[in-house]
A and B are shown apart, each in its own frame.
Chain A
Amino acid sequence: MYGFEAMTFNIHGGYLEAIVRGHRAGLLTAADYNNLCQCETLDDIKMHLSATEYGPYLQNEPSPLHTTTIVEKCTLKLVDEYKHMLCQATEPLSTFLEYITYGHMIDNVVLIVTGTLHERDVQELLEKCHPLGMFDSIATLAVAQNMRELYRLVLVDTPLAPYFSECITSEDLDDMNIEIMRNTLYKAYLEDFYKFCQKLGGATAEIMSDLLAFEADRRAVNITINSIGTELTRDDRRKLYSNFGLLYPYGHEELAVCEDIDQVRAVMEKYPPYQSIFSKLSYGESQMLDKAFYEEEVKRLCLAFEQQFHYGVFFAYMRLREQEIRNLMWISECVAQNQKSRVHDSVVFIF
């Protein structure tokens, strides 16, 4: 058993835990997904979603709808709920909630830098940024020519500043450098988040350690698979893996030298939690790997709600909503492209 969290947690965290558990009850069920999967048009999807908590966000959208519109409006709902929780939270929960958004902040920084490199309009890029990852000086990213300027001009005053120590060079930004920057930042963020949760201790530390370790391991597998056949060297690949997780350190050593998906499978099958994931795939196949990982993640996130008096429920709720939005995006794309037979390829049921 942990410390006496049951005695003190509700003083500052009780209201928000109740709020987030209420939000959890609003997640779409298997019956909702079955109805959505049978829709013929995006307007049908809008009609079915009008009966859910997404209704007020979609009701004023004119036809014809686009899949990106559905995703944007559903994301707005998540942002509103997050902002409500953040403004009600006290320390250390407020810091914990902010940590959840740093991943989106990194994605936004990379989007702006990459788009600027490709001579895209800054306003256009800002419209495509994730709202959870916005910060005040984000538009100034467009003037930076290298990582040193990026840090000095903009990021030094953002929460991402501590993560830049391993990236700062005067080399001009190009596609490879940006990719390495993205993954190095994300690695530093995950490790920092992990340490923060360990400092919190108790049930939060235990539950979040498991969730973040899974995230780190999944990242390691994705980096390995995505870097097969590219110019990323083994050493650079190894440097992008986080320094924690079930695969650290021996699994990382083996993953770093993998040259195809079957070698990755051979490495992962040595770890029982991942053996079940890879057993769902046939040899040489990687198409369904994402869905298998998402299913495992959803299972772990749902288990976080089985315990009380910890912050893991907030992280779990945000991730479950993001999964729900991914599901809606996929269903919308299949309906829009008249490919309903493929809709169950990527939908992950939460309940």
Chain B
Amino acid sequence: MEVVDHETPSLENGKTDKEVEENANVLQFMDSMDAYLTLIHSLSSTLRRGWLELASARHSMGASRVNTVLLDHTSHPAATSLLVTQDEGKVDSGKPHFTLCKWASSSNENSLLGEKQSSQDKLHPQLRHRGSTELYEEKTSSENKASREVDDPVQKERSKSLSMFGTLVSPKLRAAQLSFEAALETLVEIANMRSEMVCTFDQVNMKLAGRKDEK
């Protein structure tokens, strides 16, 4: 008859549960570090691409159109914001979590829609100024509705942020914008990955410290 001892920890391949848990923590730490380094490398290549595309846009549009003096110094709402929260899984962990809120909140969107309406109102008076008859205006407005492709609010936001360089910008400048947008997303992923890496490193350290105390 076998006697099962419930007091001694169970063994798996010669390792205790504690050791298995420690190994899992170490593996998690190594995985997060690997992911962190991969993201760093990805960020570097994305930024390199973005800077070259910006130089290409400057070459295409001219130095007077792509210039630091055109950056907007008026106060305006941020198109993108960063939300920092505590990790929901563990109350005591204190691990921050970063979330990128891209391209205007809903409140900004409403005000921006209002701005768009007023800018369109400004545009139409110019058309009326240049046009001659009401019939022409009606025909023009129906043709204009058919031609407008800017339905996507994200695309509108992108165009708005590029408008400091002019409304008709080269596709190269738009490509540069997308690259820097991707870089921003990668930066937030890096921040989250670093947060996780630091957290798992602390866990590994705690386990090691606990083992030393036991000895």
Interface residues of A (CB under 8 A from B): 68, 71, 107-108, 110-111, 114-115, 117-120, 124-125, 128-130, 166, 169, 171-172, 174-180, 182-183, 222-223, 225-236, 239, 257, 259, 286-287, 290, 326, 329-330, 333-334, 337, 339, 342, 345-346
Contact = CB atoms under 8 A, between A and B. Distances in A.
A339 B144 contact: no
Contacts of A286: 171
Nearest to A183: B168
B174 to A, nearest CB: 8
A330 B150 contact: no
Interface string B59-93: 11011110101111110000000000000000000
Nearest to B74: A119
A120 B59 contact: no
B155 A229 contact: yes
A172 B168 contact: no
A223 B129 CA distance: 22
B147 A233 contact: yes
Contacts of A124: 69
Given A130-B64, A231-B120, A231-B150, A119 B73 contact: yes
Contact of B164 (A175, A222, A334): A175
A230 B59 contact: no
Given A119-B74, A230-B167, A330-B59, A174 B148 contact: no
A1 B50 CA distance: 52
A180 B172 CA distance: 21
Interface of B: 48, 51-52, 55-56, 58-60, 62-65, 67, 69-74, 119-120, 122-123, 125-127, 129-130, 140, 143-144, 147-150, 155, 159, 163-164, 166-172
A233 B148 contact: yes
A176 B147 contact: no
A232 B60 contact: no
A236 B168 contact: no
Given A124-B69, A128-B64, A169-B126, A235 B144 contact: yes
Contacts of B144: 233-235
A213 to B, nearest CB: 21
A230 B70 contact: no
Contacts of A180: 126
Contact of B122 (A114, A176, A234): A176
A334 B150 CA distance: 34
A251 B125 CA distance: 28
Contacts of B74: 117-119
B130 A175 contact: no
Contacts of A128: 63-64, 67, 69
Most A Cβ at <10 Å: residue of B48, B64, B67, B149: B64
B171 A226 contact: yes
Contacts of B168: 179, 183, 223, 226-227, 230, 232
Given A234-B144, A337-B55, A177 B122 contact: yes
Contacts of A182: 166
4 A-B pairs with the lowest CB-CB distances in the bound complex, closest first: A179-B167, A226-B168, A333-B55, A233-B144
Given A178-B166, A183-B168, A286-B171, A111 B59 contact: no
Given A115-B70, A176-B122, A223-B168, A230 B159 contact: yes
Contacts of B127: 233, 235-236
Nearest to A237: B147
A123 B159 CA distance: 28
A339 B164 CA distance: 27
Nearest to A180: B126
Contact of B169 (A171, A226, A290): A226
Given A111-B64, A175-B163, A225-B171, A326 B59 contact: yes
A107 B65 contact: yes
B172 A287 contact: yes
